[in-house]
Structure 1
Amino acid sequence: MFKDQIGKQSEKVKNIVERGAVKKFAEAIGDLHPIYFDEETGKKSRFGKNIAPPTFPRVFDYGVIEGLNLPKKGLIHGEQTYHYERPLVVGEEIRCFSVVKDYFEKKGNFGEMGFLVIEAIGEDLEGNTIFTSKQTVIISEAVRKVATR
């Protein structure tokens, strides 16, 4: 059903690691470490600035993968992993995009389930990878039937 989407990617979208958004995100996840929002702590850190929490890339815009039409409801967020080359620094501009890496199906207790693997990438302005995130979206049989109509 989604096998023909493997390899497709979105355009690169400009994102900013904005100070206020980082602070609100840290508060929302209950991680109030001062490295995220206290400027003095950031200056004294080995990074010389404040950094964003590891899961902050969840808020970025990764663009649209043309032709990947997922249903609006009924999807299950399976798992997500992050890999960093370095932390995201507050104030920096990055480019983000996503790529369909895989699609496979398995039989489960509630029928066929589809597993869509999407990788999100964040790069600096020179094109160097800062982070990658791989997530698995589970598509239930009921949702798969609606999507193919």
Structure 2
Amino acid sequence: MYKDLIGKRSERVKSTVERGMVRRFAEAVGDLNPIYIDEEVGRRSRYGRNIAPPTFPRVLSSGVVEGLNLPKKGLIHGEQNYHYKRPLFVGEDIYSYSVIEDYYEKQGSSGLMGFLSTKRYGENDKGEVIFTEESVIIITETVRKAMKV
């Protein structure tokens, strides 16, 4: 179904790690660690500034992989892992893009399921990788049939 997209990548998109967005994200996930939201705590930290929560890259734009047309509902979030060289700093610009890593299918009890593996990269303005995010999306038989209609 998506095998022809393996290796394709999106354009590189610039996003800013905005203070207000970091605060709202921290509140939404229930992690109000002062290192994220208190400027004085950030200044006194080993980073000398505030940082974003570890899963914050989820809200950063990473472009569109041409030809990847996933349905808006019915997908299952299968897995997600983050790897960091260093934290994201509040106020910095991040350049993100996505790559389709793999697609495979398995027979499940409710039909054939597709597993779409993607990897997102977040870089600084010099192109140095700050983080990667690996995720797997599960496409159930019901969703697969609805997509073919």
- Place the TM-score, normalised by the shorter chain, in its bin: over 0.9
Per the TM alignment, residue 73 of structure 1 is displaced from its structure 2 partner at its CA by: 1.5
Give the corresponding residue for 2:119.
119
What is the number of equivalent residue pairs in this alignment?
A: 149
Q: Residue 95 of structure 1 aligns to a residue in which SS?
A: strand
Per the TM alignment, residue 137 of structure 1 is displaced from its structure 2 partner at its CA by: 0.2
Take 2:77 and 2:142, find their aligned partners in 1: how far apart are those partners?
A: 16
Q: How does 1:91-106 map to 2 (within 5 A)?
A: 91-106=91-106
Take 1:85 and 1:144, find their aligned partners in 2: how far apart are those partners?
A: 37
Alpha-carbon displacement from aligned partner over 1:52-79 (angstroms, at most 9, x marks no partner):
0000001011111000111111111111
Amino acid at match of 2:113: M
- Normalised to the residue count of structure 1, the TM-score between the two structures is 0.98
Take 1:72 and 1:63, find their aligned partners in 2: how far apart are those partners?
A: 16
Give the corresponding residue for 1:17.
17
Give the corresponding residue for 2:46.
46
Take 2:70 and 2:36, find their aligned partners in 1: how far apart are those partners?
A: 34
Q: Residue 27 of structure 2 aligns to a residue in which SS?
A: helix
Which stretches of structure 1, 4 residues or longer, exceed 4 Å deviation after superposition? Answer: none
Take 2:73 and 2:22, find their aligned partners in 1: how far apart are those partners?
A: 28
Any unmatched runs of 5+ in structure 2? none
Amino acid at match of 1:2: Y
Q: Residue 87 of structure 2 aligns to a residue in which SS?
A: coil
